[in-house]
A and B are shown apart, each in its own frame.
Chain A
Amino acid sequence: MKGLVRHGDTEWRIEPTGAMRVPVVIFASEALIRDMDDKVVEQAVNVAGLPGIVGGSYAMPDAHWGYGFPIGGVAAFDADQGGVVSGGGVGFDIACGVRTLHTGLDREAISAVRDELAEALYSTVPVGVGSTGSIMIDHRRMDAMLAGGAAWAVGEGYGRPEDLSRIEEHGRMAGADAKRVSDFAKKRQRGEMGTLGSGNHYLEVQAVTDAYDADAAAALGIAIGDAMVSIHCGSRGLGHQIGTEYLKQMAVAAPGFGIRLPERELACAPLQSDLGQAYLGAMRAAINCALANRQIITHLTRRVFEDFFGADLALLYDVSHNTCKLEEHVVDGEKRRLYVHRKGATRAFGPGHPDLPEDLRAVGQPVLIGGTMGTASYILVGTEQSMGLAFGSACHGAGRAMSRHAATKRWHGRAVQNELAARGIAVRSPSARGLAEEAPGAYKDVSEVVLAAEHAGLARRVARLEPLVCIKG
């Protein structure tokens, strides 16, 4: 790929030239680099030119063409050095993420009732276009939800207090400002609490097939044969609307801040501007919305498992992919407080980090990597090394290898569903075309992505999971 110089097996760099203030660093195997979209390099170079960027413009092994930032992009900014916050650097689906729960069951227990369980989950968790949640929240409760996140949801009876320690930010993103969220965004969210959405969002019941690190697996309470539940969704309509509105404001305001945008989608504002602060307040509110949403879906899922098995689902961990967070990092031996953008990237703090729950601190942060409905998902943990590589960040999923249009030409949704059923995977979705667009073959090899992340030192593999039941929008 143009301009990239190889440094070791899994690191590729472009040293700063022209408008670049820092190098571009891409973590990937040779095979992943070969298939990577040229747009990833172009966008990472553009990010490297943004004011106040620190260290490097990083791309994870699953990186692909995004909006301004590559998806899989990581960049940190120093507010005191003119640093910026970028709407494109967070994306439209703010705090889209994954949470994984223990079921206390094994795969045989799930397989025995696989289809019935799939039907029950499908009819309990609202999914797909036009679906609405059973929870309609008025203006006052909306503001409380935007301030309180999963902690608000637990207070409303959706879950229990011990869930919160297993969620980034302990379930509540501080600094959220509901006043910076428009009435349009709030209206768009009104009927969408506790809904899964569509596209690549899913709820899966999975079985652990491999454990790569026995000690880490034991620390996370995972063993081969265990059944787990993973939920992938985000901040729904509220986050999409905040992304849409602030992206335009930032794109229009950028010249006034003296910021030259190589592409409009890289829209950003100085952290120390009113607009930058307003966006941070709104974005943090959207993070809370995503955390509350996943908490409510967890509650619905728990009800189904209680009915079926009398099982009590314990939360393993909850990670968000599309965020900008103020964090402390050591750069060239100096502690600095930086605004770290992760666009389609997972926070992957190493062992001992004070933000991790006490009972997981020794092993490192769980990093939950979603695959496709026909392949696998992975659980990794952050490493000490990852803190120094890309501000404690790792990949987030497989990443698309093919457009939605190309996928619908190649596969038929119901055929995909039948083929997966024959392999023991029960898939339920309101949309045959949606299933075709999300066919496993339309994605990159998630195993190659996590292996590259491990070789690069971004995170360490703990377990592999494969789907038994998949609810898709």
Chain B
Amino acid sequence: MVQCLSHPTPALGAAPRSAWRHFEHRADIGVEGAGASLAEAFEQAATALTAIVADPASVRAERRYMVTCDEPDPELLFVDWLNALIYRMATERMLFSRFAVRISGARLRAEIWGETVDPARHHPAVEIKGATYTALSVSRRSDGSWCARCVVDV
């Protein structure tokens, strides 16, 4: 199993234990989020997802959407969460930059904020096809924090 880094590269002013990063995959890109809670790790991974397409700092939190996922397996829940975001990005032509996730048992409820893709300002690099089960893991680290990761097909 691929392990999360114990100290992911902090980004965008994130707190030391909450961070996101991309990891290497020959054809595609891996996303990884870490945080004090499972929900925070999922939020960070969502930022990593946006960063595949554009700089998250360039995305204004103008419009809000609600996302709900139901899945008892935390790893499958993580992929469902990313795929729910990918679906919104594709159908609404949106990019998202702010995420507030709550997880209770098998249920994830989230508020997400973002704006319509503006090619001139966001310079979007690539479209995301789907989150995959490759290098998928949701794990608790020795310091009690959470880490969630998988490869995303682009």
Chain B 73-113 interface mask (CB, 8 Å, partner A; 1/0) = 00010011001001100110100000000000000000000
B28 at the A/B interface (Cβ < 8 Å)?
A: yes
Q: How large is the interface on B (under 10, 10 to 19, 20 to 34, 35 or more residues)?
A: 35 or more
A67 and B153 within 8 A (CB): yes
A248 and B76 within 8 A (CB): yes
- Kindly report which residue of chain B lies nearest to residue A195, judged by CB atoms: B127
- Kindly report which residue of chain A lies nearest to residue B133, judged by CB atoms: A264
| Chain A residues with CB below 8 A from B127, complex form | 128-129, 197-199, 473
Q: How large is the interface on A (under 10, 10 to 19, 20 to 34, 35 or more residues)?
A: 35 or more
Bound state CA distance, A20 and B133, in angstroms? 22
Bound state CA distance, A399 and B27, in angstroms? 8
B87 and A184 within 8 A (CB): yes
- Kindly report which residue of chain A lies nearest to residue B132, judged by CB atoms: A67
| Chain B residues with CB below 8 A from A434, complex form | 124-126
Bound state CA distance, A71 and B123, in angstroms? 29
Given A67-B153, A400-B26, also A431-B129 (CB < 8 A): no
B27 and A71 within 8 A (CB): yes
**Most B CB within 10 A of own CB, among A66, A130, A190, A430:** A130
In the complex, how many angstroms separate the beta carbon of A201 from the nearest chain B beta carbon? 9
In the complex, how many angstroms separate the beta carbon of B59 from the nearest chain A beta carbon? 12
Within 8 A of A (CB), among B117-144: 117, 119, 123-127, 129-134, 136
Question: Can you list 26 A-B pairs with a CB-CB distance of less than 8 A?
Answer: A66-B27, A67-B134, A67-B151, A92-B129, A92-B132, A129-B126, A130-B116, A130-B124, A198-B127, A199-B154, A240-B129, A240-B130, A240-B153, A241-B87, A243-B130, A244-B83, A244-B86, A247-B133, A248-B76, A251-B76, A252-B76, A404-B154, A405-B22, A434-B124, A437-B126, A473-B127
Closest 7 CB pairs of A and B: A130-B117, A129-B124, A264-B133, A433-B125, A240-B129, A198-B127, A244-B130
Q: Which residues of B contact A (CB under 8 A)?
A: 22, 24-29, 53, 76, 79-80, 83, 86-87, 90-91, 93, 116-117, 119, 123-127, 129-134, 136, 151, 153-154
Q: Which residues of A contact B (CB under 8 A)?
A: 37, 64-67, 71, 91-93, 128-130, 132, 184, 187-188, 190-191, 197-199, 237, 240-241, 243-244, 247-248, 251-252, 263-265, 267, 399-406, 430-434, 437, 473
